[in-house]
A and B are shown apart, each in its own frame.
Chain A
Amino acid sequence: MERHTPAIAVDDLSFRYPGGDERVLTGASVDIEPGEFVAVIGGNGSGKTTLCKSFNGLVPHFYEGEFEGSVTVAGKHVAESSVSELSEHVGYVFQEFDNQLVSPTVGDEVAFGPVNHGHDDYRERVARALSLVGLDGAEDRFLWELSGGQKHLVALAAALALEPEILVVDEPAAQLDPTHAEETYDHLAELNREHGKTVVTIEHQTEFIAEYCDRVILVEDGAVAWTEPVETALNRLGDLRANDIHPPQVTRTAEALGSSERFPVRLAEGVRRFEGRESGATPTDAGGARSPREGVEPTVSLSSVSHSYSTLRGGDRQVLDSLSVDLHSGDRVALVGSNGAGKSTLLKLITGVEKPDAGDVSVRGTDTATTLPEQLAEEVVYVHQNPEEMFVEDSVRADVAHYLSARDVSNAEERVDEVISFLELEALEERDGRLLSVGQQRRASLAIGLATDPSVVLLDEPTGSLDLASRAEVGRTIERADERVETVVIATHDLELAAEWANRVLVLDGGRVIADGHPREVFSQGDLLTRANLKPPQVVRLSTELGVSPVALDTDELATRLSGDEAQAHPLSEDQPI
Chain B
Amino acid sequence: MSYLDSLRGTTSVDAIKTDLLRTAYDNDGSFLHRLDPRLLLIWYVVFLFVPWLFYDTRVLLALFAFVTVMAVLSRVSVYLVGLMAFSVVTSLASYAIVTAFTGDPVAAMRALLPFTFKLTIISVASLAVFSSMSPKTLARGLLSLGLPRQFTFVISYGYRMFPVLFQEYHDLVNSLRLRSKAPDSPGRFRWRHYVYLLTLSMKAFYPMIFNVAKRSRVTVEAMEARGFSKSLDNEASRQLQLEDMRVRWHGIVFFGGSLVYVGVVATVF
* A199 contacts B by Cβ under 8 Å: no
* A501 contacts B by Cβ under 8 Å: no
Partner of B177, one of A100, A374, A384: A374
Partner of A369, one of B7, B219, B224: B7
Q: How far is the CA of A40 from the CA of B234 in the complex (A)?
A: 36
8 shortest interchain CB distances as A-B pairs: A118-B236, A100-B222, A113-B226, A116-B231, A118-B237, A84-B230, A116-B227, A374-B182
Chain B residues with Cβ below 8 Å from A386 are 171
Q: Please name 16 pairs of A and B residues whose Cβ atoms are closer than 8 Å in the assembled complex, sorted by A.
A: A58-B221, A62-B221, A87-B224, A87-B230, A102-B157, A103-B136, A104-B135, A116-B230, A117-B230, A118-B230, A312-B21, A373-B178, A382-B178, A389-B211, A403-B180, A406-B181
Q: Are B226 and A354 in contact (CB under 8 A)?
A: no
Those of A38-92 within 8 Å (CB) of chain B = 56, 58, 62, 82-85, 87-88, 90-92
Q: Check A84/B214 contact, CB under 8 A, given A373-B178, A374-B180.
A: no
Shortest distance in angstroms between B78's beta carbon and chain A's nearest beta carbon? Answer: 14
* B185 contacts A by Cβ under 8 Å: no
Chain A residues with Cβ below 8 Å from B222 are 92, 94, 99-102, 155
Q: Are B228 and A351 in contact (CB under 8 A)?
A: no
Q: Check A392/B176 contact, CB under 8 A, given A120-B236, A142-B25, A310-B15.
A: yes
Q: How far is the CA of A155 from the CA of B22 in the complex (A)?
A: 24
Q: Are B231 and A115 in contact (CB under 8 A)?
A: yes
Q: Determine, out of B124-132, B158-166, B261-269, the stretch whose residues face the partner at the interface.
A: B158-166
Shortest distance in angstroms between B146's beta carbon and chain A's nearest beta carbon? Answer: 19
* B150 contacts A by Cβ under 8 Å: no
Q: Check A99/B174 contact, CB under 8 A, given A87-B227, A116-B237, A162-B227.
A: no
Q: Are A104 and B180 in contact (CB under 8 A)?
A: no
Q: Are A351 and B226 in contact (CB under 8 A)?
A: no
Q: Are A117 and B231 in contact (CB under 8 A)?
A: yes
Which residue of chain B is the closest to A399 with respect to CB atoms? B179
Chain A residues with Cβ below 8 Å from B240 are 115, 118-120, 122
* B102 contacts A by Cβ under 8 Å: no
Those of B80-137 within 8 Å (CB) of chain A = 134-136
Those of A363-405 within 8 Å (CB) of chain B = 369-375, 377, 381-382, 384, 386, 388-392, 402-403
Q: Determine, out of B54-62, B202-210, B245-253, the stretch whose residues face the partner at the interface.
A: B202-210
Q: Are B229 and A102 in contact (CB under 8 A)?
A: no
Shortest distance in angstroms between A93's beta carbon and chain B's nearest beta carbon? Answer: 9
Chain A residues with Cβ below 8 Å from B7 are 355, 369
Chain A residues with Cβ below 8 Å from B224 are 58, 62, 83-84, 87
Chain B residues with Cβ below 8 Å from A372 are 3, 6, 177, 182
Chain B residues with Cβ below 8 Å from A100 are 218-219, 221-222
Shortest distance in angstroms between A168's beta carbon and chain B's nearest beta carbon? Answer: 9
* B68 contacts A by Cβ under 8 Å: no
Chain B residues with Cβ below 8 Å from A341 are none
Which residue of chain B is the closest to A372 with respect to CB atoms? B182
Q: Are B171 and A384 in contact (CB under 8 A)?
A: yes
Contact residues of A with B, CB < 8 Å? 56, 58, 62, 82-85, 87-88, 90-92, 94, 96, 98-104, 108, 112-113, 115-120, 122, 142-144, 155, 158-159, 162, 309-313, 348, 351, 353-355, 369-375, 377, 381-382, 384, 386, 388-392, 402-403, 406-407, 434, 448, 452
Q: Check A353/B18 contact, CB under 8 A, given A102-B157, A374-B180.
A: no
Q: Check A96/B225 contact, CB under 8 A, given A312-B22, A353-B174, A390-B175.
A: no
Q: Are B177 and A373 in contact (CB under 8 A)?
A: yes
Shortest distance in angstroms between A128's beta carbon and chain B's nearest beta carbon? Answer: 16
Q: How far is the CA of A377 from the CA of B179 in the complex (A)?
A: 7
Shortest distance in angstroms between B134's beta carbon and chain A's nearest beta carbon? Answer: 8
Those of B1-41 within 8 Å (CB) of chain A = 1, 3, 6-7, 10, 14-15, 18, 21-22, 25-26
Q: How far is the CA of A372 from the CA of B9 in the complex (A)?
A: 12
Chain A residues with Cβ below 8 Å from B171 are 384, 386, 389
Q: Are A373 and B181 in contact (CB under 8 A)?
A: no
Chain B residues with Cβ below 8 Å from A99 are 215-216, 218-219, 222
Which residue of chain B is the closest to A401 with respect to CB atoms? B179
Instruction: Using A90-B225, A116-B228, A377-B178 as known contacts, list a sample of 6 further A-B pairs with CB atoms less than 8 Å apart, ordered by residue number in A.
Output: A102-B222, A118-B236, A144-B163, A159-B226, A162-B227, A311-B18
